[in-house]
A and B are shown apart, each in its own frame.
Chain A
Amino acid sequence: MNRRSFLTTTAIAAALAASGLPAFAQDPLKVGFIYVGPVGDMGWSFQHDLGRKAVEETYGDKVVTSYVESVPEGPDAERVMTQMALDGNKIIFATSFGYMDAVMNVAAKFPDVKFEHATGYKRADNVATYDARFYEGRAVIGTIAGRMTKTNKIGYIASFPIPEVIQGINSAYLHAKKVNPEVEMKVVWAYTWFDPAKESDAAAALIADGVDVMLQHTDSTAPQAKAQEAGIYSFGQASDMSAFSPKPRISAIIDNWGPYYVQRIGAMLDGTWASEGAWEGIGAGAVKIGEISDAVPAEAKAEALALAAKIGAGEYHPFTGPINRQDGSVWLAEGEVADDATLSGLNFYVEGITAELPK
């Protein structure tokens, strides 16, 4: 037993002792969710709420879930999570990166309450983190994009220059290029996760630049509407956005938190919950590829699905060398696979992307 797991187990034992073994009590387990957007955003928060519903469906009256939506990051989040803890919630899912320090503050005050923080990097004995390997899904839709472009210009509406987004751009570009060596990637930074007006402007800028296939890393459907107007192709983001299928939306990259939430609540119920950093992808079902529409030729569709299957089975890693950095230096040698530490702090483009990464 190493030091970390020793601390974890003792903390859990202490917590269970202090709280009178809630796991085996008659009372249902109270589970709180805090969302940064409205549950009706049809994107990020919506998908987390689907995960919450999956928990309710799976465990029925063994759990009681509640949520607070549209909570700004900062002191408000801290207050809402404190409120949840005071209300007797035993596990709280904080579903936005910006809740990180608030989670740490509240977790320190309530050692017998478990916290799950999405996409962050700070952990404690009662704080676990979880994230999804979205770059796996980006590889698949990047492949489709590479096949579908006629102008050889693919657009990417990026949100913020953080590792997750940079992984996505790199992965989409690498796999588009694999099937279409002529491909060029245009990136526009919208500096928002959800702002229909800004996203719409970003889409318009890409379209004016000659892009005919567009990926988005922002959550609204505004770019889909723009793509429809311009007659170009797009991909759903976070949720399926199937309202825009079969065109312009030809597929989607979907966040699917349900399996993780169900598994973690299960661990709470049987008393095996421990703090860890989960990072699942297509294999565990955390990332899903939305239905590939008929606008995509059958061959390209089969190719994309085969790639998804290979990634899901763990036979292929989207970042497998040889891959050079944008400046031409070697990142991964032939056959070398990117390690998680580098990926989770990724701050450079791969070779071939001409755009400049904002610093």
Chain B
Amino acid sequence: MIMLVKRPTPSIFWSWATPVIAVLATMIAGGVLFAALGKNPLDAIRTIFWDPILGPNAGYFRGQLLVKAGPLILIASGLAVGFRAGIWNIGAEGQYIMGAIAGAAVALAAYPAESVLLFPTMVIVGGLGGWAWAMIPALLKNRFGTSEILVSLMLVYVAQNLLAYMAFGPLKNPQGFGFPGSRNLQQYASAHNPELIARTGMHWGVVAAFIAVIATYVLMARHIAGFRIRVAGDAPKAARFAGVAPTKMVVFCLGLSGALAGLAGLFEVSGPSGQITDSFNAGYGFTAIIVAFLGRLHPVGILLAGLIMALTYIGGDSAQLSLGLPAAAIQVFQAMLLFFLLGFDFLTNYRVKLKGTRA
């Protein structure tokens, strides 16, 4: 008989081993899925996990890996800080959109003036856009005790409609023959967030993501604020006795995650994406939640998780192209990753005991 015993403290070994096991289990279960679809499972797994890094044309894909992982890591770093404190910002997608709209609006208002100050201004305004959008759930929570989960999530839909309005209305390209979408910032030198070194995929957003990883690591591991955040999450009452003001914590955590999501949006709209369109947001804000948990809410874990998540996207598209796998199978595959992670996660908190005859 199998028995589960709760561990007195979460196992450190298992908390790091479960993501690895989850990835392996996903490969196995995914392989079964692909085999059931009549594809060679080894080919599929190789196409998804190996080819983008080391296969032919990997020189191009390695750069794309950073392009795809950058926003995920940037957003997830901010979210993880809040999650550690038990503050659940589910609306990063909306903050991402608002950051992009705010920053792009600055550029489009300045068009066609060229200035070295334009891009830095856009970065600041983009961050502020995401921050302001995250302040709505923060203030409502502090003032009226609303759930930040619901409010931040609902604001995603508000932001999406605002995005469509902007793409069809105020930010529409006046030279676009009435078609939706803003001017392309890639063709506006002062506002463009270019690839810094050719074919590396490295743009300012990726740089910002690396900085965010380091900064949140320092914050959480070396700074008193990080200690308070962790205490607030693990033992809210103790934190209050220790003088941690819950309202300030809410403002800080939502503000930080909102600002980083806004920055991610700004770097995307001024770089790889180039324009505000009604379909600009591609789900980074939601995927980043998965990345945060896959990375154990730890900055370095998030860095790796973001890269793995990006790999499944890029490899997934490759598998569609070269093996004819349907997109839905790839999405199931990605979902398995989170499912197995959460499933195996109980090993962190529980010990499995095989009960013998003595019972």
Contact = CB atoms under 8 A, between A and B. Distances in A.
A191 B278 contact: yes
A269 B169 CA distance: 43
B77 interface: no
A82 B60 contact: yes
B121 interface: no
B322 interface: yes
A66 B60 contact: no
Contact of B327 (A66, A68, A87): A68
Interface stretch (B123-131, B137-145, B252-260, B312-320): B312-320
- Interface range on chain A (Cβ under 8 Å from partner): 35 or more
A17 B180 CA distance: 39
Interface in A191-220: 191
Interface residues of B, number: 39
Contacts of B317: 68, 71, 76, 79-80, 83
A97 B168 CA distance: 14
A197 B320 CA distance: 28
Given A75-B273, A191-B161, A162 B321 contact: no
B29 interface: no
A74 B282 contact: yes
Contacts of B57: 83, 86-87
Interface string A101-133: 100010000000000000001000000000000
Given A121-B179, A162-B178, A101 B168 contact: no
B190 interface: no
Given A66-B324, A69-B326, A80-B321, A74 B179 contact: no
B64 interface: yes
Interface in B280-322: 280, 282-283, 313-314, 317-318, 320-322
Contact of B277 (A32, A70, A73): A73
A74 B280 contact: yes
B104 to A, nearest CB: 13
Interface in B113-162: 161
Contacts of A347: 178
B13 interface: no
Interface in A35-80: 38-39, 66-76, 78-80
A84 interface: yes
Interface in B231-289: 268, 272-275, 277-280, 282-283
B178 A76 contact: no
B67 interface: yes
A188 to B, nearest CB: 15
A32 B321 CA distance: 8
B178 A160 contact: no
Contacts of B164: 191
Contact of A68 (B169, B180, B184, B320): B320
B328 interface: yes
Contacts of A73: 277, 279
A161 B168 contact: yes
Interface string B161-177: 10010001100000001
A75 B279 contact: no
A344 interface: yes
B71 to A, nearest CB: 10
A359 B165 CA distance: 9
Interface string A153-183: 0000000111100000000000000000000
Interface in B301-359: 313-314, 317-318, 320-322, 324, 326-328
Interface string A333-355: 00000000000111100000000
A328 interface: no
B235 to A, nearest CB: 41
A277 interface: no
Nearest to B313: A76
A88 B317 CA distance: 16
A98 interface: yes
A84 B321 contact: yes
A105 B273 CA distance: 11
Nearest to B52: A83
B50 to A, nearest CB: 15
A358 interface: yes
Given A67-B320, A83-B317, A160-B180, 11 more contacts: A38-B327, A71-B317, A74-B279, A75-B67, A79-B317, A86-B60, A98-B279, A101-B186, A160-B168, A359-B168, A359-B169
10 contacts: A32-B321, A67-B321, A68-B321, A69-B326, A73-B277, A74-B280, A75-B67, A86-B57, A160-B180, A160-B278
Q: Which 5 A-B pairs have the closest CB atoms?
A: A75-B272, A70-B327, A72-B282, A74-B273, A68-B320
